[in-house]
């Protein structure tokens, strides 16, 4: 009852539009917390997604047939710790990347919203796309390290040793060779996610009050839709980010999204572009739900603190 009263008291003002006194540091903190929560909670499923998307030598059979079977095989043959190998890279990268992401999103959305009106789904989607360019530039090297450590044949036990190995054998270019492909995927992913989130949130909660249930459902649905629609590009990104660990000469020589797509099609056909779709959707539904709920919670807390002294 007390919790309900707190939420009720907090909706006398519009928490969606943070007060003008809200500092950039507050946006950064909220975004960082959301990013770390999003990427770390569902990390084991992300490992399954990466391994299912890896393109092996021609004629090689798939090692995993499903998410549950993959988790069981990895757990029993490689140990439970393997399911979290590389998570430190995600935490280190996701914090600053998501901090910049959400701060850029808020500022861009405000710029695209004229006359103090409520931002539209289109404005939210455009703001999400703009924020992606900056945040992915920060996150891409950490993502490369993460995926290398997620591979079954990985011998790296720390992100430092992995980074040094990649730099020594493949050069600095290896950390950004997938950046164009990442942007091609992330731009529509984030635009779809932000646009759908704004649409679902307003449909479920027209009053735009703070509602954790609404943020969980809207965030999860938006993430699942975006993940499914962008899986083909994610398959190309995975090939480029893991090419240095492949024993296949053709895979190792791939240097663009077009080349990656050609290899996937030749080896696996059209179905190859949907490999990892299920674990990707499974991971993104709760991950984005957690991310949005965490971010909206901190926005709510910030708004309460900013407005309360004026009461």
Q: Give the tens place of pLDDT for each residue, 211-237.
A: 889 999 999 999 999 999 999 999 999
pLDDT digits (tens, 9 = 90+) for 140-195: 999 999 999 999 888 888 999 999 999 999 999 999 999 999 888 888 887 888 88
Rounded-to-integer distance, Cα 29 and Cα 283, Å? 23
With cut-offs at 50, 70 and 90, classify the pLDDT of residue 96.
confident
CA distance 95 to 281: 22
Q: Name the token pair of 268.
A: 């696996």
- The pLDDT-based confidence of 308 (bands split at 50, 70, 90) is low
Q: Which two tokens stand for residue 275?
A: 């490999």
Residue 254 CB neighbour total at 10 angstroms: 22
Torsion sign, CA atoms 70, 73, 75, 77: negative
Q: In terms of pLDDT, which residue wins out, 160 or 303?
A: 160
Report if pTM > 0.75.
Answer: no
Residue ranges covered by each domain of the chain: 22-302
Q: Answer yes or no: are the C-beta atoms of 244 and 252 closer than 8 Å.
A: yes
The predicted-structure confidence for 64-93, as pLDDT tens digits, reads as follows 778 889 999 999 999 989 999 999 998 888
- Residue 117's pLDDT is what? 65
CATH T-level fold of 22-302: Mitochondrial carrier fold (1.50.40)
Structural tokens at position 108: 């861009």
Query: Which position has the higher pLDDT, 13 or 237?
Result: 237
């Amino acid at each position: 009852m007390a919790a309900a009263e707190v939420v009720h008291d907090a909706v006398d003002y519009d928490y969606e539009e943070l007060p003008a006194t809200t500092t950039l540091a507050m946006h950064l903190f909220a975004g960082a917390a959301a990013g770390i929560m999003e990427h770390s909670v569902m990390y084991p499923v992300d490992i399954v997604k990466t391994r299912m998307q890896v393109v092996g030598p021609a004629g090689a059979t798939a090692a995993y047939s499903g998410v549950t079977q993959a988790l069981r095989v990895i757990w029993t043959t490689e140990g439970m710790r393997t399911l979290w190998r590389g998570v430190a890279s995600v935490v280190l990268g996701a914090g600053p990347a998501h901090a910049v992401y959400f701060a850029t999103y808020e500022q861009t959305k405000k710029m695209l919203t004229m006359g103090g009106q409520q931002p539209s789904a289109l404005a939210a989607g455009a703001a999400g796309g703009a924020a992606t360019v900056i945040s992915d530039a920060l996150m891409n090297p950490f993502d490369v390290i993460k995926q290398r450590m997620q591979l079954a044949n990985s011998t790296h036990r720390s992100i430092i040793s992995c980074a040094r190995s990649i730099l020594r054998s493949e050069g600095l270019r290896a950390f950004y060779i997938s950046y164009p492909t990442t942007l091609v995927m992330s731009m529509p992913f984030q635009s779809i996610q932000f646009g759908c989130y704004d649409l679902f949130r307003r449909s479920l909660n027209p009053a735009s009050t703070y509602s954790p249930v609404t943020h969980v459902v809207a965030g999860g649905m938006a993430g699942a839709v975006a993940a499914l629609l962008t899986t083909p590009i994610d398959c190309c990104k995975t090939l480029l980010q893991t090419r240095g660990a492949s024993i296949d000469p053709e895979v190792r020589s791939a240097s663009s999204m077009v080349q990656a797509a050609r290899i996937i099609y030749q080896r696996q056909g059209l179905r190859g572009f949907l490999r990892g779709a299920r674990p990707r959707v499974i991971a993104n539904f709760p991950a984005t739900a957690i991310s949005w709920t965490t971010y909206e919670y901190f926005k709510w807390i910030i708004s309460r603190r900013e407005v309360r002294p004026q009461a």
